[in-house]
Amino acid sequence: MPKIPRLLSIAGSDPSGGAGVQADLKTFSAFGCYGMAAITALTAQNTRGVTAAYPVAPDIVAAQMDAVLSDIPPDAIKIGMVATPDIAHAVAEAFSRYEARNIVLDPVLVPTEGVTLASAGLERALVDTLLPLARLVTPNLHEASALTQTPLAKTPDEMAAQAGLLCEAGARAVLVKGGDLEGEPIDVLFETGEKRIFRGRRIPTRNTHGTGCALSSAIACELAKGAPLIDAIAAAKVWLEGALEAADSLRLGDGRGPPHHFYALWR
């Protein structure tokens, strides 16, 4: 029998199930993959926003990673909320003990609503420690601005310029997500000096909580299955559009609910 792709999420916990580890595991399952998780932080959040965040001790994060990597080597790894520079260093150190591949880094820094999810100095720590290890880095407009210390991008050319700066800093490929752009949502991929634009549809829904987590996890799933990076991104975007179109049917909370990760399965 063919091996089921195995994925590891290294991220924070969202008790409402819309983002973080919970969203990653749902996405892995939606793509027919076996999901595992190492939790970096506990948060208090729901559809209205984040009210508190409590980082896990770095040695406990590393111990969780050791437990998985030493026994069930993943075919791809999604890194989300890292929370502190010390955790970033602990994650990078754990990777040095194992052969890890298809790492997708989604640099979670600030939620759309609520308290910050990153302590001081995390941007620099991500660039120094985890950026060079990733197959793909997936910042949104605000995260790309923070990581490059440049003004918020407003055009695809400015997004590509920021992605290029991150590649100069050590990233192999960067996908700057333009969901917050005015008009048509455009994502820009920069790899080996070349720019590629991915256009999408603006889905009329308020339920967009955790879309960044879902997209990066979906890309990781496709990479785990052996898809080329461009095909992995394209497939993930098609799936996410479907999940957003079905999001309102979940009827969760009175704020920004999550996309419907299992829209293709719950019929």
Closest by CA to 218, choosing from 70, 41, 33, is: 33
Catalytic residue from among 18, 80, 212, 257: 212
Identify the active-site residue in 18, 213, 221, 237: 213
- Which listed residue (177, 178, 221, 237) is catalytic? 177
Q: CB neighbours of 67 closer than 8 A, spacing ≥ 6? A: none
Give the single-character DSSP code of 152.
P
Q: Name residues whose C-beta falls within 8 Å of residue 203's C-beta, 6 or more positions apart in sequence.
A: 241, 244, 245, 247
Residue 177 annotated as catalytic: yes
Our answer to whether residue 208 is catalytic in this structure is yes
Q: Are strands 49-55 and 186-191 parallel, antiparallel or unpaired?
A: unpaired
Enter the tokens of residue 195.
Answer: 């720019």
List 77's β-bridge partners, or say none: 8, 103
| Active-site annotation holds for 210 | yes
Q: Among 27, 210, 237, 257, which one carries the catalytic annotation?
A: 210
Please report how the helices 211-224 and 229-245 are oriented relative to each other, as an axis angle in degrees rounded to 10: 140
Given 211, 221, 237, 257, which residue is catalytic? 211
Residue 211 is a catalytic residue: yes
Catalytic residue among 138, 208, 221, 257: 208
SS3 state of residue 100:
coil
Whether 138 is a known active-site residue: answer no
Our answer to whether residue 213 is catalytic in this structure is yes
| Residues marked as catalytic | 177, 208, 210-213
